A = this chain, B = another copy of it.
């Protein structure tokens, strides 16, 4: 149970977390803090949060759990705004898509990583953003990855784990570097490719027909290209090295496929397509990945 939960950034993720915890009866009081007053008022109207304030120190006063759900580049300034007002024993956590940069920001603000700050990342989202898109079941059966550091206290890890489990999520642990590499490949690069594909198509003179005759392949791509631009700009800046690494490997692979198409080399095309299908099908079986 949480007595007072303070959520910074009441958008899709912050809002969905609040809703899920309300449904679970897991918090006595949920206070939202955001730079957008309209978003905060809407969050109270929608009964996503109980109260709001635009004053960070008021938000964290007496809180036993503080969640940062702001875009990556806003993490450090929010941490600065609350650093001197945190109650004894409060647990801090975040929902950022890149973990090394959050840990670096916290380390700068607190002159060392606070032992009760548990970096976390729920693997859930929608192409819609904002508090009005919040869903109380957004995290059900989704994974939340914690990336604690050596000095992170186990009681803080337990508190964050229990909070996420109350939303229906499955909590897992990964190293910071591994998290950032895996997410670069599984989430960040696909979003970059999707934005790029839709941007490419927008420049053609048959963009209208493309959407009119959109097949499943393009529908999936275009859906994720509708994600929040600020969130994805920040991710590209904050997980730059891992994304570039994944992007370069992808570009090299694509270059080989391009060559096979140019040379009408059916053998090489088959080799790549069969390999991709085999790996995908085997891993879907193994990890029971949702496929529909």
Contacts and interface: CB of A to CB of B under 8 A. Distances in A.
A194 B257 CA distance: 12
Interface string A192-230: 111111111111101111111111111111111111011
Given A174-B209, A193-B254, A200-B250, A270 B229 contact: yes
A154 to B, nearest CB: 23
B123 A215 contact: yes
A4 to B, nearest CB: 31
A211 B287 contact: yes
A240 interface: yes
A111 interface: no
A262 interface: yes
A217 B270 contact: no
A238 B206 CA distance: 21
Interface string A272-292: 111111011101101101110
A183 interface: yes
Nearest to A97: B215
A210 B289 CA distance: 11
Interface string A247-264: 101110110011011101
B216 A125 contact: yes
Nearest to A282: B211
A266 B237 contact: yes
A287 B224 contact: no
Contacts of A85: none
A49 interface: no
A217 B187 contact: yes
A61 interface: no
A187 B222 CA distance: 12
A213 B123 contact: yes
Given A199-B275, A225-B276, A187 B215 contact: yes
A190 B203 contact: no
A235 to B, nearest CB: 10
Contacts of A27: none
B200 A237 contact: no
A59 interface: no
Q: Report the 5 A-B pairs with minimum CB-CB distance, sorted nearest first.
A: A220-B220, A190-B217, A229-B273, A211-B283, A198-B276
Interface of A: 123-125, 127, 143, 145, 172, 174, 178, 181-183, 185-187, 189-204, 206-227, 229-230, 232-233, 236-237, 240, 243-244, 246-247, 249-251, 253-254, 257-258, 260-262, 264, 266, 269-270, 272-277, 279-281, 283-284, 286-287, 289-291
9 contacts: A143-B212, A182-B206, A185-B218, A186-B210, A187-B216, A197-B253, A217-B224, A220-B221, A229-B277
